[in-house]
Amino acid sequence: MRIGLVMDATCDLPLEFVQKNNITVLPIFVNVEGETFADQHDPVETQRFLDSGMGSRSHAAETTPYSAEEVMQLFMERLVIDYDCVFCFTITATRSPVHEQVSKASFSILKNYRPVRQEAGVTGPFLMRVIDTQTLFAGSAIPVIEAVRLLETEQSPGQMRERLEQVAQNSHGFLIPRDLNYLRQRARRRGDRSIGLFGATLGSALDIKPILRGWRGNTEPMTKVRGFEAAAETLFKHIEERIRHGLMVPTVTLSYGGDLDVMRDLPGYDALRQTCADHGIGLMECPMSITGMANTGQGGLCAGFACEPYEPEF
């Protein structure tokens, strides 16, 4: 059976990995001050966004994912012909409309695919499963990485679905924003009141950085640390600890809203890289998506991994 993978643009994976594994990216269009950026893992477009300086003032950005109709068109024109089964991964449904749009499209796709496949000379049914990763950015990458591994073991769609839903349930995405004021303004723009004016102002004045976790549809602060570098080191040490306890998927993902060399110079990075190597854990890095930067601010750090449920202690 030919099985394909689709993910939305906010899932932080390197372009080389996406291309090597023929993963289709659902683009998101980000409009900032009249300038439109196509978010679809294109390094040139991401660098254009960074070079424009939009990342520090895009809290008023308008983000437009594919509509249900556009998702359906993409599937009908190509995917229902090229594959017999497609797994589609989205950022947590509680933070984005992408999951709703893709799920809505799936009903029409599964209802109308037969004539398209027959005309193309393709026999047999077409299957489609939409997976809510229940986390964000680098965390959303973990179920996709596991899907690629499962494809290499030639498991059935049913076996893959069960495993991928288990991984999604246990995928953690940790985020450290650079600028709390930016995050507050963006949250207000989206109607999210979780970051108040007083907290953001006081946090910025004291250089306090929260370490947020996206897990099972919830996004909440786990701890607060003074200084971005110290917060990054705290997070890296926490990931090392989880590696020693054992991960569900042997990969840690990192994404950064800027030059990756800046991330690699952060305290604790080298130790995390060594711990990954010592335990046979892959470390996958990429720039944060344009949409991710528009929503959380430039210069933020995100990390993802999957493990059994636990109570984070920092």
pTM of the model: 0.93
**pLDDT for residue 194:** 54
| Same domain, yes or no: 177 and 223 | yes
**pLDDT for residue 183:** 79
| Same domain, yes or no: 156 and 179 | no
In a domain, residue 312? The reply is no
In a domain, residue 77? The reply is yes
| Same domain, yes or no: 18 and 101 | yes
**Domain containing residue 7: CATH number:** 3.40.50.10170
- Alpha helices (runs of H) in 170-227, residue ranges in sequence order: 180-189, 197-205
In a domain, residue 89? The reply is yes
| Same domain, yes or no: 289 and 274 | yes
Of 104, 139, 169, the one marking the end of a domain is: 169
**Domain containing residue 268: CATH number:** 3.30.1180.10
Exposure b/e, 45-67, CB count within 10 A at least 16 = b: bbeebbeeebbbebbebebebbe
| Same domain, yes or no: 80 and 192 | no
Quick one: tokens of 75? 């599937």
In a domain, residue 191? The reply is yes
| Same domain, yes or no: 196 and 100 | no
Query: Could you give the number of structural domains in the chain?
Result: 2
Closest CA to 272 of 308, 310, 237: 237
**pLDDT for residue 197:** 41
| Same domain, yes or no: 181 and 296 | yes
- Alpha helices (runs of H) in the chain, residue ranges in sequence order: 15-20, 43-51, 68-74, 80-82, 98-119, 138-152, 157-169, 180-189, 197-205, 228-245, 260-264, 269-278, 290-296
**pLDDT for residue 54:** 73
Strand partners for 101: none
Q: What are the residues whose beta carbons fall under 8 Å from the beta carbon of 8, sequence distance 6 or more?
A: 25, 26, 28, 65, 89, 90, 91, 96, 98, 102
Of 169, 188, 216, the one marking the end of a domain is: 169
| Same domain, yes or no: 115 and 83 | yes
Mean pLDDT by 10 residues, the chain (314 residues): 96 97 97 92 92 74 94 98 98 94 97 97 97 98 98 93 98 94 74 51 69 94 94 98 98 97 98 98 97 92 97 90
| Same domain, yes or no: 106 and 72 | yes
| Same domain, yes or no: 153 and 259 | no
**pLDDT for residue 204:** 58
| Same domain, yes or no: 48 and 145 | yes
Q: Which domain holds residue 290?
A: 171-306
In a domain, residue 314? The reply is no
Of 169, 192, 227, the one marking the end of a domain is: 169
| Same domain, yes or no: 280 and 147 | no
